[in-house]
Amino acid sequence: YFLKINNSTCFRYIELSNGLKALLISDLTQSESNREPVAKEEEDSGEEEDGDSESTNEDSNCVNKCKTGDCQFFTVILIFVDISYKMSYIISQSAAALCISVGSFSDPADLPGLAHFLEHMVFMGSEKYPAENGFDAFLKKHGGSDNASTDCERTIFKFDVQRKYLREALDRWVQFFIGPLMIPDAVDREVEAVDSEYQMAQPLDSNRKEMLFGGLAKAGHPMSKFFWGNAQTLKNEPREKNIDTYERLREFWRRYYSAHYMTLAVQSKETLDNLEEWVRAICIKIPNNGQPRADFSDLQDPFDTPDFNKLYRVVPVRKIHALTISWALPPQDKHYRVKPLHYISWLIGHEGAGSVLSLLRKKCWALALFGGNSESGFDQNTTYSIFSVSITLSDEGFQNFFQVIHIVFQYLKMLQSVGPQQRIYEEIQKIEANEFHYQEQMEPIEFVANICENMQLFPKEDFLRGDQLMFEYNPEVISAPLTLLTPATANILLLSPEHDGRCPLNEKWFGTQYSVEGNPPPQRIWEKCGFVFRDPPVITHLNKFIYINLKLILVLFDLFVNILAHNLAEPAYDADVAQLEYMLFPGDHGLFIRLKGFNHKLPLLLNLIVDHLANFSTAPNVFSMYIEQLKKTYYIILIKPDRLGRDVRLQILEHHRWSVMQKYEAIMADLGVTDLMDFVNRFKAELFVEGLIQGNFTSAESKEFLQYFIEKLQYKAPPAEPPVLFRVVELPQTHHLCKVQSLNKADANSEVTVYYQTGLKNLREHTLMELLVIVFLCLNISATTQILFDSFFRYQVYPSCRNTSGVLGFSVTVETQATKFSTDFVEGKIEAFLVSFGEKMVNLSDEAFQTQVTALIKLKECEDTQLGEEVDRNWFEVVTQQYVFDRLNKEIEVLKNVTKDELVSFFMEHRHASSRKLSIHVVGFGEKEKETHGDDQSSSSPESQDTERKTSSYGDVSELIFLPASPVLAKASRITDIRAFTSSLNLHPYHKILQ
């Protein structure tokens, strides 16, 4: 099977004699070039990890990451898209992904989490390449990355690497499926890695809801299994029951890691012939056991139980009110050409006039609504499909949640009465087709991962499009699931912190507190709601930024931006449907607005936003709703260890920074609509507007954007361009420790960040710091720290280059659990890691050093896969008032003549007693910390969970709790009053890195 697109991208589908199926992807035009760009390493999927630039607000999900770190801002971009098919792009990195049609549904009953554990274990060396973490080291050395994931019915492995190392990487990687070592000695260590993932997952409400929901399935259905696995299920209980976990791993691998269960996608700037030769030569060695594929399709209707159609009240981790109404429907995979659930979810999730959310917003009962199926393995598999309506409720909405439920049921009854509408279906079909054909390029590693999974789901002619396009309208297929969305078959989940202490039941694995009640009465009345759809526009993308500087009262500013977004939600929804996107974000120094979409209608959206900005107003009930919502937002930030750690660190480093904790205190004050409107009027009176436009708008059109702001807002410009900076303190030349207690008593997760402040440096030294981090990632470390970091913390160690308002530094961050290690112990391991790294770097060969330099040069030379990447870099120059738009070229010139001795010397400057070192510990609750801090630390071990659950996990988050250090860190100077500590320190002048 062969497909050629635009004389450049070609595909070839092959099947090997052992049953493995492969799709080969080649860019013929680029393969004739000598250039071999190297893509960035895959970023961690953590929610928010700060990096280079730290002088911007991170208290919103509407955040972009710049290429060199996480300087977060919004920009003006115009992208002209001239693509006739999704695959006509330049391949910047070689990548491969393999999907096996086995997952956690196949876990044996006596070893929960075995499929996930096996995914970990196959990485631990192979017969041909026995080094335990050799593959990771090989990829890091050659600009690559890898990852894997286990779902209900599929397991996916993926990696990327520089093109010329693809064949060797492929050979090393495929050995996981040919002859993995899985040595017994590694079992206990890797169990700890699985257990760490489990503990890190515990504070996430999405995981808790999933585990509770799965527990409602009837006996024998795999949905009720504990997919994560932990030390209890994979080590402790098996030993008690004399179960040989190692032998069961080998048995599971032999049974399921079989070639005929596998689909492979490989993408590179190689010829198809080369790719086929390599795949045939290497992958033919994967064994085929000949056994039939795992099949769960006969286990339909998993919720045919009395426990399902109930009202469940649940205590969330986040301080938020949320309502989820769910239905278990027959599996929908065979209807992928119609996609009936997508059609229904489009209508349920509509936000324009006449929609469910519009009505709920008018009543100030809801802030957001999502309807549909997430298409994850848990939501959609061969046994069932889940359809859910999830609503974020206001406090008033929580008090009226029965009425909210009735409105949803009324809307569904109207849809059932009206039936499927071909006009609406075709509108959605056109929009999805536009999005498919003109979508931005995916990173190769993500693209092949998506394709290899599609190969398990669709016929080969639909590998590239089966998951996205709506092919044909069929009212009968749409009506079938729609008629099943009735009150009698619904399961209702109501989350609220007000349930804390009132829920007597506990979910087994994540400890979620809940109670069960009878389902609400069926709906009695319904009313008709309307829809608004418009024709889709032509293809062009635009991002727009407006920078406004004013002395801000940050809480009122946050309120203003949230309510402005609320006011825009309905009038701007039609633009959203037509793929015109916008984001509003309250930054540390001003209002950021980002627009993206088709160019010929984008000015209308911009004008709409400016109009609402100029004529801003709010009703008292909307104001009250967002006061409560912001309280929850600040609270959610503060109970996360990584966000609290960042907040504390920047509160120490940046003079006059308002911490989230201070904002939380401020919002508890008695604020009213008059306060907000007074602030908004002052805000609009004196503005400084700055923007960046890239793309196919003319200079005249760009000036029209600015002119509209000037005419509509009638603001007064300040006498001079305002500065956009925080002043950064100069840390003392000694070690300081700030150790604070996590603000969530139910969370065992801890975080340790060790930060070294370098100071005011030039462009060469900033480039050296980047290179240092690359070498950090690529060098193997000593055996002692390898056990710690490559096994227990393989996924939670982050070396970072930090640019804090122009002041250079670097840090190492480790996420851990208080059930396993104290933070003081972890800091000791970080120090051992740094000592080992220094020794390794000194002994690094010139050839190995030059390999890392070359990798970073190629990374900087790599062509941007999206115009947005270039705009991010350019906007960083604008927002920091540096305007070095050719910074990449300057950094490349530095790298061309850098020496190993220079880098070693630069690193060693930080490794002495007078280093400016700051350690931030956020301490979770668990046995290891209780050993240090006594009864102030409650344990989160399984033995003591029952005691913990009797008390509330919701505490006061308006004050930091400073903890003492153990004797291990007795020499460090403690920080117990941040303002007192920083008030005596010198401030660095604002520094621009220009040359």
Phi, psi of 329 (to 5 degrees): -110, 165
Sign of the Cα torsion 929, 933, 937, 943 reads positive
CA within 13 Å, CB half, 110: 12
Residue 75: closest CA among 67, 85, 84, 83: 67
Q: Are 956 and 949 in contact (CB under 8 A)?
A: no
What's the rounded Cα separation, in Å, for the pair 837 and 757?
A: 18
CA–CA separation, 787 and 190 (whole Å): 10
**Amino acid at the residue 583:** M
Q: What amino acid is encoded at 551 in this protein?
A: K
> Exposed, middle or buried, 994 (CB in 10 Å: 0-12/13-18/19+)?
exposed
Q: How many other C-beta atoms lie within 10 A of the C-beta of residue 206? A: 8
Greatest alpha-carbon span in the chain? 79
**Burial readout 159-169 (b: 16 or more C-beta within 10 A, e: otherwise):** bbbbbebbbeb
Helices (H) and strands (E) in the chain, counts: 35, 24
Look up residue 354 and give its DSSP letter: T
Structure tokens at 294: 């795992």
Give yes or no for a contact between 857 and 892, defined as CB atoms under 8 angstroms apart. yes
- Phi, psi angles (nearest 5°) of residue 919: -110, 130
143: left (phi over 0), alpha (psi -120 to 50) or beta: left
How many CA atoms within 13 Å lie on the side-chain side of 650? 26
Nearest Cα residue to 688 out of 710, 718, 713, 709: 718
Q: What angle do CA 751, 756, 759 make, to 5 degrees?
A: 140
Only one residue has tokens 């889940």, namely: 386
Rg (CA), the chain: 28
Q: Rounded distance, CA 803 to CA 807, Å? A: 6
Consecutive H or E run containing 356 = helix 356-362
**Residues 96 and 267 sit within 8 Å (Cβ to Cβ):** yes
Active-site amino acid positions: 119
Q: Distance between CA atoms of 786 and 797, rounded to whole angstroms? A: 12
**Nearest CA to 759 among 724, 800, 730, 735?**
730
Burial of 57 by CB count in 10 Å (0-12 exposed, 13-18 middle, 19+ buried)? Answer: buried
